[in-house]
A and B are shown apart, each in its own frame.
Chain A
Amino acid sequence: GAGVSQSPSNKVTEKGKDVELRCDPISGHTALYWYRQRLGQGLEFLIYFQGNSAPDKSGLPSDRFSAERTGESVSTLTIQRTQQEDSAVYLCASSLGLRGAETQYFGPGTRLLVL
């Protein structure tokens, strides 16, 4: 079946503009995660959804970052007033959501460059 998909693949924007990143999880996966990966660094947890609820937003770096999920499916990560330090790959993952420590399946990521 289809894996996790993300769009756009690449996004170049100007400092101060807003961007929206989209994630389509694997069908039937109730858990969805957003991570950020800066060049040469490990993955940084941003937010976790179980269904449409986000019980853990602790990883969001600032109030410029927000995320929502609808229909227990698609999720959107929004970055307002982008800054150059927001440049990174934003990865989305999904899992069945039945228990902790499940295998997470990653999408190909959105490469964001803020000029």
Chain B
Amino acid sequence: RKEVEQDPGPFNVPEGATVAFNCTYSNSASQSFFWYRQDCRKEPKLLMSVYSSGNEDGRFTAQLNRASQYISLLIRDSKLSDSATYLCVVNRNDYKLSFGAGTTVTVRA
């Protein structure tokens, strides 16, 4: 079983819509969680960390459910520029990050 699993999508949504997706992780000892964003043929960039109590950053909301071992990302009022692949990233409080294969979101005009 992969350490981090994501629905690959694609999620095709119109501008202004809300889109949400999850990722699951297998290691219950995981301590830190992140969402990275990767544009086509570009490097991953940190979008946001995910905190136990859930957190928002503008139109983006991340949630963590430790009991069920999943993380979610919700994007409100989608913009064309939100089109990207979103990588779920899990860390066991050491240096090694485990990446999911990504969820592709396409926002259409």
Q: Chain A: residues with CB nearer than 8 A to chain B?
A: 31, 33, 35, 40-43, 45, 48, 50, 56, 91, 95, 100-104, 106-109
Contact = CB atoms under 8 A, between A and B. Distances in A.
B45 interface: yes
Given A31-B95, A56-B96, A40 B45 contact: no
Question: Which bracket fits the contact residues of B?
Answer: 20 to 34
Interface in B26-74: 31-32, 42-46
A101 B95 CA distance: 6
B96 A45 contact: yes
Given A101-B31, A104-B97, A107-B43, A42 B91 contact: no
Given A100-B93, A101-B91, A106 B45 contact: yes
